[in-house]
Amino acid sequence: MKKRALGKLGLRVSEIGLGCMGFTQSYPPYPDRAECIRTLRAAVEAGVDFFDTAEVYSAYKNEEFVGEALEPFRDDIVIATKFGYDMQNIHLDKNNRPLGLSSRPENIRRAVEGSLRRLRTDRIDLYYQHRVDPNVPIEEVAATVGELIKEGKVCYWGLSEAASETVRRAHAVCPLSAVQSEYSMWYRRPEAELFPTLEELGVGFVAFSPLGKGILTGRFGPDSKFSDGDFRSAIPRFQGDNLKNNMRIVDYVKELAKSKNTAPARVALAWILAQRPWLAAIPGTKSIERIRENIGASDIRFSDGEIEEINARLQHIDILGARYPQEQENLTYK
């Protein structure tokens, strides 16, 4: 597995990592704990060294199994986790997604101690603010994380779904290594303002949902339905006429995959890797077969001309529907 630098402070990760949320939250059915652990360990053996979790995923359960699974490989892998929710007063929306932000210094310190314990480690490699807290100045957050870095509890830090100006303010206080946001062939908002800022500051980028929450794998059709427990059942992009329209991009990805004699998921991930040299992607899956398929994206190459042609084609494919329910969308790009 090829590695890439995230930021200029020394953090290097496999260019295809693994988003671990779906093992316990949002995308049922869920494997049992033993199967989760086997899958993560098989991912390490396959070459993945970058794993993403958060304290809020299933209220600590995700971190707990990630910590157990990766403990034997601790010095050979990079673990990213997140703070930023008031876990003592957490509440959920109608889709069981967390609400209730808190990045107060005392909450960050409480969060880091809990994550260190659950992850069975003495340091967090990459520590993200999960969502920007409008009630706490980002400078205060950055200063608090900077203290944790000096104490050796955190190695590098980052922001998730933050706006360009917030990134600048945070970086001025404590240099960032990465910003994480949704990014894929069907969601390209980060390109407009965020990417130029990251390039200027020398900050890396981590793409979550790089397969469009599964749509770009080609597994779903225009009439696909999602169970009430599946987060996609509440996402406008996956509903009714929106989904039928959005199959245009799926058809295009399948066309590209056929031309490369490979799987649609590999094409979608390879496209991301081709956009900037300081990007990594963390597709989520619960299957070691899919993990191995995703890793294969590292071997797909596009010429500059092919990338220009693909990007031009994507500009003419309109995607209908928001990527989140309204209450979740309101928490992003602050």
Residues annotated as part of the active site: 57
How far is the C-alpha of 286 from the C-alpha of 39, rounded, in Å? 7
Nearest Cα to Cα of residue 42 among 285, 209, 210:
285
Using CB atoms within 10 Å of the CB of residue 9, give its burial: 0 to 12 exposed, 13 to 18 middle, 19+ buried. Answer: middle
DSSP percent split of the chain into helix, strand, coil, nearest 5:
45, 15, 40
Q: Which residues contact 180 (CB under 8 A, 6 or more apart)?
A: 52, 80, 128, 158, 159, 160, 161, 205, 206, 207, 208, 282
Q: How crowded is the C-beta side of 293, counted as CA atoms within 13 Å? A: 18
Q: Residue 192, Cα to own-chain centre: how many angstroms?
A: 19
Q: How crowded is the C-beta side of 84, counted as CA atoms within 13 Å? A: 27
Tokens of 227: 């169970």
Q: Are 56 and 130 in contact (CB under 8 A)?
A: yes
How far is the C-alpha of 163 from the C-alpha of 172, rounded, in Å? 15
The continuous run of DSSP H or E covering 98 comes out as: strand 98-99
How far is the C-alpha of 119 from the C-alpha of 201, rounded, in Å? 30
Tokens of 173: 């206080």
